[in-house]
Amino acid sequence: MDPPSDHILETACLRAVEAFQSSLTPGSDPALRSRRPPRVLSRPTAGAVDYAAARLWELTGFHERALDALKQAIIAASGEDQTRLYNALVRCATQLGREAETASWLEPFAAENPAIGLWSGHLFLAARDPFQAAEALERCVERVNDPALRRAATDARLRALLELGRLGDAIDLSLAAIGWFPEDALALRADLAGLLTGAGRHEDALAEAERVLAADPSLAKVQFIRGAALVRLGRTSEGTAALEDAVQRDPTLAEQVEWLLGGPPG
């Protein structure tokens, strides 16, 4: 909730917002307008004005007012780049514990701008609704061309699918992502190896792990996945050697290795 004892600050912010908004209207004081330099920057859009007001409310702790102003800004700024608006919207909704409500409010805008699925998906995940998150993020992954937004949506959808226990769909998405983002193929294949292990596909996991380690043998977690796959395939001596190498590179893996080999945790 908004700070109950900050009425003076709230009034000051409200007056500042009103003054800023009125200074940008055609009815502003002509004397003030005449003092402006000959070369004036383009007038801020309505969405930009609402965003500025929202940031003032957010920075002073009035998140309810900030959330309302951000919604107005998103409506007014239709068709513009709204990344900063959505980022601020997620922050304020999270601060207020209104993630699910805000995600649902955003959803109708996705028909015009499928990238919105990235932010509504994150909000649904924060609200512990991975089903709605996966649906929203799928639209973003399938229809957005911006590589950075699509990659972020892919990572978030993988999380939602794993929370739903849809491991097969997560593996399919990881395989597709390797083709979409070749510059990140090594990291994506490392993650894929872990997913294949979780699905009990140990031969496939071993193949992916060895492919990653051929490019970068220093990755302890991938060496652990390789060792685990070897052990589960009955190649115990090779697997144990790989697991020991993984622990040498990353001692935090020791407890997982002990559990895997059947011993008590250290």
Which two tokens mark 216?
């970068």
Q: Is the predicted pLDDT of residue 214 greater than 60, yes or no? A: yes
Is residue 85 within 8 Å of 51, Cβ to Cβ? yes
Give the Cα separation of 56 and 104 in Å (integer): 25
The model's pLDDT over 4-19, given as tens digits with 9 standing for 90+, comes to 456 555 565 555 555 5
- Which of the four pLDDT bands, split at 50, 70 and 90, describes residue 99? very high
The pLDDT value recorded for residue 75 is 87
Give the Cα separation of 53 and 12 in Å (integer): 12
| 58 SS3 class | helix
C-alpha to C-alpha distances, 96 to 4, 5, 43, 69, 235, nearest whole angstrom: 14, 18, 32, 14, 53
Q: How far is CA 66 from the centre of its chain?
A: 21
Give percent above pLDDT 90 in the chain. Answer: 64
Residue-range domains of the chain with CATH: 45-96 (no CATH), 193-261 (1.25.40)
The pLDDT value recorded for residue 18 is 57
Give the Cα separation of 174 and 197 in Å (integer): 14
The mean-pLDDT minimum among 11-20, 146-155, 207-216 falls in 11-20
Q: Is the predicted pLDDT of residue 262 greater than 90, yes or no? A: no
**Averaged over 236-249, what is the pLDDT?**
95
